[in-house]
A and B are shown apart, each in its own frame.
Chain A
Amino acid sequence: MSEDATGFPEPSTEPLVVLENVNKHFGDLHVLQDINLTVHRGEVVVVIGPSGSGKSTLCRTINRLETYESGSITIGGETLPQEGKALARLRADVGMVFQSFNLFSHKTILENVTMGPTKVRGVKSAAAKKRAMELLERVGVAHQAAKYPAQLSGGQQQRVAIARSLAMEPTVMLFDEPTSALDPEMINEVLDVMVELAKSGMTMIVVTHEMGFARKAADRVVFMSDGAILEENTPEEFFTNPQTDRAKDFLGKILTH
Protein backbone atom coordinates (compact mmCIF):
# COMPACT_ATOMS: atom_id res chain seq x y z
CA MET A 1 0.00 0.00 0.00
CA SER A 2 1.47 3.33 -1.00
CA GLU A 3 1.33 6.37 1.25
CA ASP A 4 0.58 9.92 0.30
CA ALA A 5 2.26 12.96 1.80
CA THR A 6 -0.02 13.03 4.88
CA GLY A 7 1.06 9.64 6.15
CA PHE A 8 -2.24 7.99 5.34
CA PRO A 9 -2.09 4.98 3.01
CA GLU A 10 -3.78 5.33 -0.37
CA PRO A 11 -6.90 3.17 -0.69
CA SER A 12 -6.89 0.42 -3.28
CA THR A 13 -9.34 0.35 -6.18
CA GLU A 14 -10.77 -2.97 -5.03
CA PRO A 15 -14.42 -2.51 -3.98
CA LEU A 16 -15.09 -3.95 -0.51
CA VAL A 17 -18.53 -2.68 0.53
CA VAL A 18 -20.99 -2.08 -2.28
CA LEU A 19 -24.52 -0.74 -1.81
CA GLU A 20 -26.78 -0.73 -4.85
CA ASN A 21 -30.17 0.99 -4.96
CA VAL A 22 -30.85 0.33 -1.28
CA ASN A 23 -34.27 1.47 -0.12
CA LYS A 24 -35.81 1.48 3.33
CA HIS A 25 -38.90 2.96 4.93
CA PHE A 26 -39.83 3.60 8.56
CA GLY A 27 -43.58 3.65 8.06
CA ASP A 28 -44.20 6.52 5.65
CA LEU A 29 -40.70 7.93 6.06
CA HIS A 30 -38.43 6.99 3.15
CA VAL A 31 -35.31 6.82 5.26
CA LEU A 32 -32.96 5.40 2.62
CA GLN A 33 -33.62 6.44 -0.97
CA ASP A 34 -31.84 4.56 -3.75
CA ILE A 35 -28.54 4.53 -1.93
CA ASN A 36 -25.54 3.69 -4.12
CA LEU A 37 -22.18 3.65 -2.39
CA THR A 38 -18.94 1.81 -3.07
CA VAL A 39 -16.23 1.70 -0.42
CA HIS A 40 -12.84 0.39 -1.50
CA ARG A 41 -10.42 -1.63 0.55
CA GLY A 42 -8.39 0.69 2.77
CA GLU A 43 -10.67 3.64 2.19
CA VAL A 44 -11.97 5.92 4.94
CA VAL A 45 -15.43 7.25 4.11
CA VAL A 46 -17.03 9.80 6.38
CA VAL A 47 -20.79 10.20 6.22
CA ILE A 48 -22.12 13.55 7.39
CA GLY A 49 -25.47 15.25 7.26
CA PRO A 50 -28.17 16.78 9.44
CA SER A 51 -30.01 14.75 12.10
CA GLY A 52 -32.60 12.41 10.68
CA SER A 53 -30.89 12.30 7.31
CA GLY A 54 -30.58 8.50 7.50
CA LYS A 55 -26.82 8.32 8.00
CA SER A 56 -27.00 6.17 11.14
CA THR A 57 -29.55 3.93 9.48
CA LEU A 58 -27.22 3.57 6.50
CA CYS A 59 -24.40 2.54 8.81
CA ARG A 60 -26.58 0.02 10.65
CA THR A 61 -27.97 -1.43 7.43
CA ILE A 62 -24.47 -2.46 6.33
CA ASN A 63 -24.27 -5.16 9.01
CA ARG A 64 -28.00 -5.70 8.96
CA LEU A 65 -28.85 -4.35 12.40
CA GLU A 66 -31.50 -2.70 10.22
CA THR A 67 -33.26 -4.52 7.42
CA TYR A 68 -33.81 -2.97 4.03
CA GLU A 69 -36.55 -3.49 1.48
CA SER A 70 -34.90 -3.44 -1.91
CA GLY A 71 -31.49 -3.19 -3.49
CA SER A 72 -28.38 -5.11 -2.52
CA ILE A 73 -25.46 -4.83 -0.14
CA THR A 74 -22.33 -6.89 -0.67
CA ILE A 75 -19.24 -7.09 1.51
CA GLY A 76 -16.16 -8.53 -0.17
CA GLY A 77 -18.42 -9.69 -3.01
CA GLU A 78 -20.66 -11.63 -0.63
CA THR A 79 -24.32 -10.65 -0.43
CA LEU A 80 -25.53 -9.91 3.08
CA PRO A 81 -27.44 -13.00 4.27
CA GLN A 82 -30.93 -12.51 5.70
CA GLU A 83 -30.36 -14.16 9.07
CA GLY A 84 -28.94 -17.10 10.95
CA LYS A 85 -25.39 -18.44 11.13
CA ALA A 86 -24.32 -17.05 7.75
CA LEU A 87 -25.23 -13.54 8.85
CA ALA A 88 -23.41 -14.02 12.18
CA ARG A 89 -20.30 -15.15 10.27
CA LEU A 90 -20.39 -12.09 8.06
CA ARG A 91 -20.98 -9.75 10.99
CA ALA A 92 -17.87 -11.16 12.65
CA ASP A 93 -15.86 -9.61 9.80
CA VAL A 94 -17.56 -6.23 10.11
CA GLY A 95 -16.57 -4.22 13.17
CA MET A 96 -19.17 -1.91 14.65
CA VAL A 97 -18.66 0.92 17.11
CA PHE A 98 -21.81 2.43 18.61
CA GLN A 99 -22.65 5.87 19.87
CA SER A 100 -23.47 4.45 23.32
CA PHE A 101 -20.42 2.12 23.41
CA ASN A 102 -22.54 -0.93 24.33
CA LEU A 103 -19.81 -2.74 26.21
CA PHE A 104 -21.13 -5.90 27.89
CA SER A 105 -21.94 -4.53 31.35
CA HIS A 106 -21.54 -7.83 33.22
CA LYS A 107 -18.10 -8.59 31.79
CA THR A 108 -14.72 -7.07 32.58
CA ILE A 109 -12.90 -4.96 30.00
CA LEU A 110 -10.65 -7.89 29.15
CA GLU A 111 -13.61 -10.29 28.84
CA ASN A 112 -15.37 -7.82 26.57
CA VAL A 113 -12.46 -7.98 24.16
CA THR A 114 -11.86 -11.75 24.35
CA MET A 115 -15.50 -12.83 24.02
CA GLY A 116 -15.71 -12.52 20.23
CA PRO A 117 -12.43 -14.28 19.43
CA THR A 118 -13.07 -17.17 21.83
CA LYS A 119 -16.78 -17.71 21.15
CA VAL A 120 -16.93 -16.88 17.45
CA ARG A 121 -13.45 -17.62 16.12
CA GLY A 122 -12.62 -20.46 18.50
CA VAL A 123 -9.35 -18.84 19.59
CA LYS A 124 -7.79 -20.40 22.70
CA SER A 125 -8.34 -18.37 25.86
CA ALA A 126 -4.66 -17.65 26.52
CA ALA A 127 -4.00 -16.48 22.97
CA ALA A 128 -7.15 -14.33 23.00
CA LYS A 129 -6.09 -12.70 26.28
CA LYS A 130 -2.63 -11.94 24.94
CA ARG A 131 -4.06 -10.38 21.79
CA ALA A 132 -6.67 -8.46 23.81
CA MET A 133 -4.00 -6.98 26.04
CA GLU A 134 -2.05 -5.85 22.96
CA LEU A 135 -5.16 -4.16 21.60
CA LEU A 136 -6.01 -2.55 24.94
CA GLU A 137 -2.43 -1.32 25.05
CA ARG A 138 -2.86 0.12 21.58
CA VAL A 139 -5.97 2.08 22.57
CA GLY A 140 -4.41 3.06 25.89
CA VAL A 141 -6.64 1.31 28.46
CA ALA A 142 -4.59 -1.81 29.23
CA HIS A 143 -4.27 -0.81 32.90
CA GLN A 144 -8.08 -0.95 33.23
CA ALA A 145 -8.40 -4.53 31.93
CA ALA A 146 -9.79 -6.01 35.15
CA LYS A 147 -12.43 -3.32 35.68
CA TYR A 148 -16.05 -3.31 34.60
CA PRO A 149 -17.35 -0.92 31.92
CA ALA A 150 -19.30 1.22 34.41
CA GLN A 151 -16.03 2.05 36.18
CA LEU A 152 -14.53 3.65 33.07
CA SER A 153 -15.07 7.08 31.55
CA GLY A 154 -17.01 7.35 28.30
CA GLY A 155 -13.87 7.95 26.29
CA GLN A 156 -12.20 4.91 27.79
CA GLN A 157 -15.28 2.77 27.18
CA GLN A 158 -15.40 3.81 23.56
CA ARG A 159 -11.71 2.95 23.09
CA VAL A 160 -12.41 -0.47 24.61
CA ALA A 161 -15.30 -0.85 22.16
CA ILE A 162 -12.88 -0.15 19.32
CA ALA A 163 -10.48 -2.75 20.73
CA ARG A 164 -13.35 -5.23 21.00
CA SER A 165 -14.12 -4.75 17.30
CA LEU A 166 -10.45 -4.95 16.32
CA ALA A 167 -10.08 -8.24 18.18
CA MET A 168 -12.24 -9.85 15.50
CA GLU A 169 -9.76 -8.75 12.81
CA PRO A 170 -12.51 -7.10 10.78
CA THR A 171 -12.16 -6.31 7.09
CA VAL A 172 -14.17 -3.12 7.53
CA MET A 173 -15.20 -1.07 10.54
CA LEU A 174 -18.40 0.90 10.94
CA PHE A 175 -18.54 3.84 13.34
CA ASP A 176 -22.01 5.11 14.22
CA GLU A 177 -21.47 8.57 15.73
CA PRO A 178 -18.70 7.27 18.02
CA THR A 179 -18.07 10.58 19.78
CA SER A 180 -21.61 11.98 20.02
CA ALA A 181 -22.22 10.69 23.55
CA LEU A 182 -18.86 11.87 24.90
CA ASP A 183 -17.90 14.86 26.98
CA PRO A 184 -15.88 17.31 24.87
CA GLU A 185 -12.57 16.60 26.56
CA MET A 186 -12.88 12.90 25.76
CA ILE A 187 -13.66 13.27 22.09
CA ASN A 188 -10.05 13.67 21.04
CA GLU A 189 -8.78 10.56 22.78
CA VAL A 190 -11.25 8.53 20.72
CA LEU A 191 -10.58 10.42 17.50
CA ASP A 192 -6.84 9.91 17.97
CA VAL A 193 -7.37 6.14 18.07
CA MET A 194 -9.54 6.37 14.94
CA VAL A 195 -6.95 8.47 13.08
CA GLU A 196 -4.27 5.96 14.02
CA LEU A 197 -6.55 3.19 12.73
CA ALA A 198 -7.04 5.04 9.44
CA LYS A 199 -3.28 5.37 9.10
CA SER A 200 -2.89 1.62 9.58
CA GLY A 201 -4.96 1.12 6.43
CA MET A 202 -8.26 -0.04 7.98
CA THR A 203 -11.33 0.31 5.79
CA MET A 204 -13.67 2.60 7.72
CA ILE A 205 -17.16 3.97 7.29
CA VAL A 206 -17.65 6.72 9.85
CA VAL A 207 -20.86 8.57 10.63
CA THR A 208 -19.81 11.63 12.56
CA HIS A 209 -20.25 15.32 13.25
CA GLU A 210 -16.51 15.77 13.75
CA MET A 211 -15.52 17.79 10.72
CA GLY A 212 -11.91 17.91 11.92
CA PHE A 213 -11.73 14.13 11.68
CA ALA A 214 -13.30 14.22 8.22
CA ARG A 215 -10.72 16.75 6.98
CA LYS A 216 -7.83 14.89 8.55
CA ALA A 217 -8.52 11.24 7.92
CA ALA A 218 -11.24 10.86 5.29
CA ASP A 219 -10.50 9.82 1.72
CA ARG A 220 -14.03 10.74 0.81
CA VAL A 221 -16.92 12.61 2.38
CA VAL A 222 -20.49 11.51 1.71
CA PHE A 223 -23.18 14.07 2.41
CA MET A 224 -26.67 12.75 3.18
CA SER A 225 -29.90 14.60 3.57
CA ASP A 226 -33.47 13.30 3.83
CA GLY A 227 -32.43 9.73 3.16
CA ALA A 228 -30.47 10.38 -0.01
CA ILE A 229 -26.79 10.81 -0.83
CA LEU A 230 -26.50 14.34 -2.24
CA GLU A 231 -22.75 14.69 -2.59
CA GLU A 232 -19.63 12.56 -2.59
CA ASN A 233 -16.30 14.25 -2.75
CA THR A 234 -12.84 14.57 -1.26
CA PRO A 235 -12.94 16.40 2.07
CA GLU A 236 -10.98 19.30 0.57
CA GLU A 237 -13.43 19.77 -2.31
CA PHE A 238 -16.51 19.17 -0.18
CA PHE A 239 -15.65 21.64 2.56
CA THR A 240 -14.38 24.42 0.30
CA ASN A 241 -16.68 23.95 -2.65
CA PRO A 242 -19.96 22.19 -1.81
CA GLN A 243 -22.14 21.67 -4.87
CA THR A 244 -25.71 21.46 -3.53
CA ASP A 245 -27.64 24.16 -1.69
CA ARG A 246 -28.47 21.67 1.06
CA ALA A 247 -24.78 21.01 1.72
CA LYS A 248 -23.94 24.71 1.58
CA ASP A 249 -26.68 25.40 4.07
CA PHE A 250 -25.52 22.57 6.38
CA LEU A 251 -21.88 23.62 6.28
CA GLY A 252 -22.87 27.24 6.77
CA LYS A 253 -24.65 26.28 9.97
CA ILE A 254 -21.93 24.14 11.50
CA LEU A 255 -18.76 25.90 10.38
CA THR A 256 -19.62 29.45 11.43
CA HIS A 257 -18.77 28.85 15.09
Chain B
Amino acid sequence: MTELIEEYQLLAAFWMTIKLTAYSAVISLVLGTILAIMRVSPVRIFEWVGTTYVTLLRNTPLTLIVLFCSLGLWGQLGIELASRESDTFIVDNGFRLAVLGLSVYHAAFVCEALRSGVNTIPLGQAEAARSIGLTFSQSMTQVILPQAFRGAITPLGNVLIALTKNTTVVAAIGVAETAYRMKAIAEFEPALLMLGFAVVALGFVILTLPMGMLTSYLSARLAVKR
Protein backbone atom coordinates (compact mmCIF):
# COMPACT_ATOMS: atom_id res chain seq x y z
CA MET B 1 0.00 0.00 0.00
CA THR B 2 2.81 2.42 0.87
CA GLU B 3 4.39 1.62 -2.48
CA LEU B 4 1.16 2.41 -4.21
CA ILE B 5 0.91 5.71 -2.34
CA GLU B 6 4.50 6.60 -3.22
CA GLU B 7 4.41 5.38 -6.80
CA TYR B 8 1.34 7.42 -7.64
CA GLN B 9 2.19 10.42 -5.47
CA LEU B 10 -1.04 10.06 -3.56
CA LEU B 11 0.12 12.27 -0.69
CA ALA B 12 0.88 15.09 -3.11
CA ALA B 13 -2.46 14.41 -4.75
CA PHE B 14 -4.29 14.71 -1.44
CA TRP B 15 -2.36 17.88 -0.69
CA MET B 16 -3.60 19.21 -4.04
CA THR B 17 -7.16 18.25 -3.05
CA ILE B 18 -6.73 20.15 0.22
CA LYS B 19 -5.36 23.20 -1.58
CA LEU B 20 -8.19 23.16 -4.10
CA THR B 21 -10.70 22.86 -1.25
CA ALA B 22 -9.13 25.60 0.87
CA TYR B 23 -8.82 28.20 -1.89
CA SER B 24 -12.25 27.44 -3.33
CA ALA B 25 -13.84 27.48 0.13
CA VAL B 26 -12.51 30.95 0.92
CA ILE B 27 -13.37 32.44 -2.48
CA SER B 28 -16.82 30.85 -2.63
CA LEU B 29 -17.54 32.02 0.92
CA VAL B 30 -16.72 35.62 0.00
CA LEU B 31 -18.58 35.45 -3.31
CA GLY B 32 -21.54 33.62 -1.77
CA THR B 33 -21.79 36.21 1.02
CA ILE B 34 -21.86 39.04 -1.52
CA LEU B 35 -24.55 37.17 -3.48
CA ALA B 36 -26.61 36.61 -0.32
CA ILE B 37 -26.41 40.33 0.54
CA MET B 38 -27.53 41.14 -3.00
CA ARG B 39 -30.45 38.74 -2.72
CA VAL B 40 -31.77 40.31 0.48
CA SER B 41 -30.96 43.92 -0.52
CA PRO B 42 -33.82 46.33 -1.15
CA VAL B 43 -32.30 47.33 -4.52
CA ARG B 44 -34.26 45.46 -7.17
CA ILE B 45 -31.42 45.12 -9.71
CA PHE B 46 -29.01 43.62 -7.14
CA GLU B 47 -31.66 41.19 -6.03
CA TRP B 48 -32.25 40.19 -9.65
CA VAL B 49 -28.53 39.70 -10.37
CA GLY B 50 -28.14 37.56 -7.24
CA THR B 51 -31.16 35.42 -8.01
CA THR B 52 -30.18 34.94 -11.65
CA TYR B 53 -26.64 33.94 -10.69
CA VAL B 54 -27.84 31.34 -8.22
CA THR B 55 -30.43 29.92 -10.63
CA LEU B 56 -27.90 29.61 -13.45
CA LEU B 57 -24.92 28.26 -11.52
CA ARG B 58 -26.79 25.96 -9.18
CA ASN B 59 -28.52 24.23 -12.06
CA THR B 60 -25.46 23.75 -14.25
CA PRO B 61 -23.34 20.58 -13.89
CA LEU B 62 -19.98 21.26 -12.22
CA THR B 63 -18.20 19.24 -14.92
CA LEU B 64 -19.52 21.64 -17.54
CA ILE B 65 -18.39 24.68 -15.55
CA VAL B 66 -14.92 23.29 -14.93
CA LEU B 67 -14.50 22.23 -18.56
CA PHE B 68 -15.75 25.64 -19.65
CA CYS B 69 -13.11 27.32 -17.47
CA SER B 70 -10.38 25.28 -19.11
CA LEU B 71 -11.54 24.80 -22.68
CA GLY B 72 -13.72 27.91 -22.95
CA LEU B 73 -11.98 30.61 -20.95
CA TRP B 74 -8.46 29.44 -21.58
CA GLY B 75 -8.68 27.41 -24.79
CA GLN B 76 -11.09 29.58 -26.77
CA LEU B 77 -10.90 33.01 -25.17
CA GLY B 78 -7.23 32.86 -24.22
CA ILE B 79 -7.78 33.96 -20.63
CA GLU B 80 -4.74 32.88 -18.61
CA LEU B 81 -4.49 33.01 -14.84
CA ALA B 82 -0.72 32.49 -14.62
CA SER B 83 2.31 34.02 -16.27
CA ARG B 84 3.38 32.44 -19.58
CA GLU B 85 7.05 32.90 -18.65
CA SER B 86 6.64 30.91 -15.47
CA ASP B 87 8.11 27.38 -15.49
CA THR B 88 5.01 26.08 -13.80
CA PHE B 89 2.57 27.81 -16.16
CA ILE B 90 0.57 24.71 -17.09
CA VAL B 91 0.18 23.54 -13.50
CA ASP B 92 -0.58 27.00 -12.04
CA ASN B 93 -2.98 27.95 -14.80
CA GLY B 94 -4.85 24.66 -14.51
CA PHE B 95 -5.02 24.94 -10.74
CA ARG B 96 -6.34 28.50 -10.81
CA LEU B 97 -8.92 27.76 -13.50
CA ALA B 98 -10.06 24.80 -11.40
CA VAL B 99 -10.36 26.99 -8.29
CA LEU B 100 -12.31 29.53 -10.36
CA GLY B 101 -14.76 26.88 -11.57
CA LEU B 102 -15.21 25.33 -8.12
CA SER B 103 -15.63 28.74 -6.49
CA VAL B 104 -18.25 30.19 -8.82
CA TYR B 105 -20.25 26.95 -8.61
CA HIS B 106 -20.17 26.55 -4.83
CA ALA B 107 -20.78 30.27 -4.23
CA ALA B 108 -24.37 29.65 -5.35
CA PHE B 109 -24.76 27.02 -2.61
CA VAL B 110 -23.04 29.21 -0.01
CA CYS B 111 -25.48 31.98 -0.93
CA GLU B 112 -28.46 29.71 -0.39
CA ALA B 113 -27.07 28.35 2.89
CA LEU B 114 -26.58 31.89 4.16
CA ARG B 115 -30.01 32.91 3.02
CA SER B 116 -31.47 30.05 5.02
CA GLY B 117 -29.48 31.50 7.94
CA VAL B 118 -30.98 34.93 7.30
CA ASN B 119 -34.44 33.36 7.34
CA THR B 120 -33.87 32.09 10.88
CA ILE B 121 -33.55 35.69 12.10
CA PRO B 122 -36.79 37.29 13.28
CA LEU B 123 -37.78 40.35 11.24
CA GLY B 124 -37.68 42.44 14.42
CA GLN B 125 -33.86 42.24 14.51
CA ALA B 126 -33.57 44.15 11.23
CA GLU B 127 -36.27 46.60 12.31
CA ALA B 128 -34.48 47.27 15.59
CA ALA B 129 -31.22 47.78 13.70
CA ARG B 130 -32.84 50.29 11.36
CA SER B 131 -34.65 52.06 14.16
CA ILE B 132 -31.44 52.92 16.01
CA GLY B 133 -30.20 54.51 12.78
CA LEU B 134 -27.94 51.83 11.32
CA THR B 135 -27.63 52.02 7.53
CA PHE B 136 -28.34 48.95 5.37
CA SER B 137 -24.67 47.94 5.27
CA GLN B 138 -24.24 48.52 9.01
CA SER B 139 -27.27 46.45 9.91
CA MET B 140 -25.95 43.71 7.59
CA THR B 141 -22.47 43.60 9.13
CA GLN B 142 -23.48 44.26 12.75
CA VAL B 143 -26.77 42.43 13.14
CA ILE B 144 -27.91 40.26 10.23
CA LEU B 145 -24.78 38.53 8.92
CA PRO B 146 -23.30 37.59 12.32
CA GLN B 147 -26.57 35.89 13.21
CA ALA B 148 -27.00 34.43 9.71
CA PHE B 149 -23.55 32.80 9.79
CA ARG B 150 -24.25 31.27 13.19
CA GLY B 151 -27.59 29.96 11.98
CA ALA B 152 -26.08 28.63 8.76
CA ILE B 153 -23.09 26.72 10.14
CA THR B 154 -24.60 23.29 9.44
CA PRO B 155 -25.66 24.00 5.83
CA LEU B 156 -22.33 25.80 5.22
CA GLY B 157 -20.56 22.71 6.55
CA ASN B 158 -22.54 20.59 4.10
CA VAL B 159 -21.40 22.83 1.26
CA LEU B 160 -17.77 22.50 2.43
CA ILE B 161 -18.01 18.69 2.50
CA ALA B 162 -19.62 18.66 -0.93
CA LEU B 163 -16.90 20.99 -2.20
CA THR B 164 -14.15 18.71 -0.86
CA LYS B 165 -15.55 15.75 -2.74
CA ASN B 166 -16.44 17.78 -5.82
CA THR B 167 -12.79 18.73 -6.28
CA THR B 168 -12.42 15.30 -7.92
CA VAL B 169 -14.23 16.73 -10.95
CA VAL B 170 -11.23 18.88 -11.86
CA ALA B 171 -9.34 15.71 -12.79
CA ALA B 172 -11.18 16.32 -16.06
CA ILE B 173 -8.91 19.26 -16.84
CA GLY B 174 -5.72 17.53 -15.78
CA VAL B 175 -5.14 18.94 -12.32
CA ALA B 176 -3.08 16.35 -10.48
CA GLU B 177 -5.39 15.80 -7.53
CA THR B 178 -6.60 12.56 -5.99
CA ALA B 179 -9.08 11.37 -8.62
CA TYR B 180 -6.54 12.09 -11.36
CA ARG B 181 -4.03 9.76 -9.69
CA MET B 182 -6.73 7.20 -9.00
CA LYS B 183 -7.47 7.08 -12.71
CA ALA B 184 -3.81 6.34 -13.33
CA ILE B 185 -3.89 3.49 -10.82
CA ALA B 186 -6.95 2.05 -12.51
CA GLU B 187 -5.17 2.24 -15.84
CA PHE B 188 -1.76 0.88 -14.91
CA GLU B 189 -2.37 -1.29 -11.86
CA PRO B 190 -5.61 -3.17 -12.49
CA ALA B 191 -4.59 -5.74 -9.88
CA LEU B 192 -4.46 -3.08 -7.21
CA LEU B 193 -7.65 -1.34 -8.31
CA MET B 194 -9.70 -2.18 -5.24
CA LEU B 195 -6.89 -1.13 -2.92
CA GLY B 196 -6.55 2.14 -4.84
CA PHE B 197 -10.24 2.86 -4.42
CA ALA B 198 -10.05 2.03 -0.72
CA VAL B 199 -7.07 4.31 -0.10
CA VAL B 200 -8.74 7.21 -1.88
CA ALA B 201 -12.06 6.65 -0.11
CA LEU B 202 -10.29 6.49 3.26
CA GLY B 203 -8.39 9.67 2.45
CA PHE B 204 -11.63 11.54 1.76
CA VAL B 205 -13.25 10.23 4.93
CA ILE B 206 -10.23 11.50 6.89
CA LEU B 207 -10.71 14.91 5.27
CA THR B 208 -14.46 15.25 5.57
CA LEU B 209 -15.25 13.53 8.86
CA PRO B 210 -13.62 16.24 11.01
CA MET B 211 -15.46 18.87 8.98
CA GLY B 212 -18.80 17.34 9.87
CA MET B 213 -17.82 16.97 13.52
CA LEU B 214 -16.51 20.53 13.69
CA THR B 215 -19.64 22.02 12.15
CA SER B 216 -21.89 20.07 14.54
CA TYR B 217 -19.81 21.31 17.46
CA LEU B 218 -19.72 24.90 16.25
CA SER B 219 -23.39 25.07 15.40
CA ALA B 220 -24.30 23.97 18.91
CA ARG B 221 -21.68 26.21 20.49
CA LEU B 222 -22.39 29.37 18.51
CA ALA B 223 -26.16 29.05 18.15
CA VAL B 224 -27.93 32.34 18.82
CA LYS B 225 -30.22 31.88 21.82
CA ARG B 226 -33.55 33.64 21.47
Contacts and interface: CB of A to CB of B under 8 A. Distances in A.
Contact of A65 (B42, B131, B142, B224): B131
Given A104-B143, A119-B138, A150-B226, A168 B132 contact: yes
Given A104-B143, A106-B224, A119-B138, A88 B133 contact: yes
B84 interface: no
Please classify the interface of chain B as helix (H, G, I), strand (E, B), loop, or mixed, using the class held by over half of its residues. helix
Given A100-B124, A104-B128, A105-B147, A116 B42 contact: no
Nearest to A103: B128
Contacts of A89: 133
A180 interface: no
B131 A96 contact: yes
A63 B130 CA distance: 9
B133 to A, nearest CB: 3
A94 B131 CA distance: 7
B189 interface: no
A241 B57 CA distance: 67
Nearest to A96: B131
Contact of A98 (B128, B134, B224): B128
A131 interface: no
Nearest to A97: B131
B133 A91 contact: yes
Contact of B131 (A63, A85, A106, A151): A63
Contacts of A150: 225-226
Contact of B124 (A98, A164, A168): A98
Interface in A86-120: 88-96, 98, 100-106, 115-116, 119-120
Nearest to A92: B133
Interface residues of B, number: 22
B226 A164 contact: no
Interface size class of A (residues with CB under 8 A): 20 to 34
Given A119-B138, A119-B142, A105 B133 contact: no
Given A106-B150, A150-B225, A65 B132 contact: no
Interface in B105-129: 122, 124-125, 127-129
Interface in B12-63: 42
A85 B128 contact: no
28 contacts: A63-B131, A65-B131, A83-B42, A85-B135, A88-B134, A88-B135, A91-B130, A91-B132, A92-B133, A93-B133, A94-B131, A95-B131, A100-B124, A102-B122, A102-B125, A105-B125, A106-B143, A106-B147, A106-B150, A115-B134, A115-B142, A116-B132, A116-B133, A120-B132, A148-B225, A161-B128, A165-B131, A168-B133
Top 3 A-B residue pairs of the complex, sorted by shortest distance between their CB atoms: A92-B133, A102-B124, A102-B128
Interface of B: 42, 122, 124-125, 127-135, 138, 142-143, 146-147, 150, 224-226
Given A104-B125, A148-B225, 14 more contacts: A85-B135, A88-B134, A91-B133, A94-B131, A96-B131, A102-B124, A105-B226, A106-B146, A116-B133, A120-B133, A120-B134, A150-B226, A151-B225, A165-B132
